[in-house]
Amino acid sequence: MTLTSRRSGFNRNYRRLDPGGCDWLENNSDARHFLFCLKALGVIRLRRGKVAMAKKVLDKLIELDPHDEMGGGSYLTIANTFSN
């Protein structure tokens, strides 16, 4: 994630990213790859039982990808079924 953010010039800290920061969904871009990495991070945290942390990552993913092209919404739905 660090390499893609450095090459594209956006903050590597996903918490500081905003939807208008760049074209997140441009095909074959570092930004789109970063979104896939966010999805993977959310899934890994969910599988490890870190539900609250997974929700934060997946919420940010949906904020950056509101039409859910990456498919993170289904994992967020699963995360929301768990109680903290």
Counting Cα atoms < 13 Å in the Cβ hemisphere of 29 gives 13
65 pLDDT more than 70: yes
State how many domains the chain has. 1
2 vs 26 pLDDT, higher one: 26
14-27: average pLDDT: 87
Tell me the residue range of the domain where 61 lies: 2-81
37-64: average pLDDT: 96
Q: In the numeric block, which tokens belong to residue 52?
A: 């609250």
- Residues 19, 24: Cα–Cα separation, whole Å: 8
Which residue, 10, 13, 15, 42, is CA-closest to 29?
10
Tell me the whole-structure pTM to 2 decimals: 0.86
2 pLDDT more than 70: no
83 pLDDT more than 80: no
What does the pLDDT read at residue 44? 97
DSSP string computed for 22-65: S-TT-TT-HHHHHHHHHHHHHHHHHHTT-HHHHHHHHHHHHHH-
